[in-house]
Amino acid sequence: MKQSRQAGSLMLLVAAVIWGSAFVAQSLGMDHVQPFTFQAVRSLLGALALLPVILLFDWRRKKKRGAAARQPLWPLVKGGLLCGAVLFVAINLQQFGLVDNTAGKAGFLTALYILIVPVYGLFLGHRPGALLWVSVVIAAVGLYLLSVTEAFTISRGDVLLILCAFAFALQIMLVDHFVGRVNGMKLCTAQFLVCGLLSLLAMFMFEQPSARGILGAAGPLLYAGVLSSGVAYTLQILAQRTTPPAIASLLMSLEAVFAVITGMLVLGEVPSLREVLGSLLMFAAILLAQRGGQPQPAPEAPAA
């Protein structure tokens, strides 16, 4: 059991690295394509990448247990539509927010969803502990240092990323609601498909996509679609079979740290002292929130 938990923790750490570095892929991709185009292709690639995994799992399950009763389709359709629609809002707000922000800063602002989820839970009757409220205050100070300039202004990109965190928090709660009723991997595929189709519609309505641009962004698109959406999510599913939720959510929240590291290594981003202090405070708030024992549903790959 100890070895399986260690393996699960390692898989979640790899997933966090992939999700964090996906912010860099998203930034690089916009050198060639516009935001809706990037997310449309990335989401559809994510759904496509998960299909063979689903077929493999279904085949193994069938071989082990024999023919099983078919599950009702409507809960999966309903979950896919709702989760996919909210994911469409979240990842496109994130993509537009990245236009004016560094990958590292975007990672930390997106990670606010870890603190917002339990606040949403208050409306469902959940009572988070005192440590959570301390975490929220610390995160608010960190957010101020990250986003508000000395002239007391906040950029458009920061606002979009903060709104994106609220949308991701809602998406996490929707996934938590449906994942006990349907197959988690199929739900993920359905939501990527819905998100991709909605982004595709927005792409044709508001942008001028070109095959040349999409081919130019092939590397970032494949990374964000196949690795971030497909591989990392599969690692999360496998790991959470043996990893306690508190440890799992803590490891996944490290994506914010890896977003900063990869942004510095790949894009040459150098955060200011104010941004470093803000990031440290937000990371401390994330760690403290985990210790506070908040109910933490399994997050989907927000950056990703």
Terminal alpha carbon distance of the chain: 30
- Report pLDDT digits (tens) over 223-272: 999 998 888 877 877 776 676 655 566 677 778 888 888 988 888 888 88
Give pLDDT tens digits for 28-42.
999 999 999 999 999
pLDDT digits (tens, 9 = 90+) for 263-300: 888 888 888 888 888 888 877 877 776 665 444 444 45
What pLDDT was estimated at residue 247? 59
Quote the CA–CA distance of 192 and 225 in Å, as a whole number. 10
Nearest C-alpha neighbor of 190 from the set 229, 155, 140: 229
pLDDT for residue 112: 81
Task: Enumerate residues 6+ apart whose C-beta is below 8 A from 110.
Answer: 94, 161, 164, 165, 168, 256, 302, 303
* pLDDT, tens digit, 9 for 90 and up, residues 186-236: 888 999 999 999 999 999 999 999 999 999 999 999 999 999 888 887 787
Q: Is residue 229 in a domain? A: yes
| Domain-embedded: residue 175 | yes
% of the chain surpassing 70 pLDDT: 84
Per-residue pLDDT at 43: 94
pTM over cut 0.75: yes
Looking at the domain assignment, is residue 177 inside a domain? yes
- Say if 299 falls within a structural domain: no
Calculate what percentage of the chain has a pLDDT beyond 90.
34
Which pLDDT score, from 0 to 100, does residue 224 have?
93
Structural domain including 159 reads: 2-291
Question: How many domains is the chain partitioned into structurally?
Answer: 1
**Residue-by-residue DSSP string for 119-138:** HHHGGGT----HHHHHHHHH
pLDDT of res. 118: 73
176, part of any domain: yes
Q: C-alpha distances in angstroms, 92 versus 43, 48, 114, 198, 208? A: 11, 20, 19, 10, 16
Decide if pLDDT at 52 tops 70: yes
The predicted structure's pLDDT at residue 204: 96
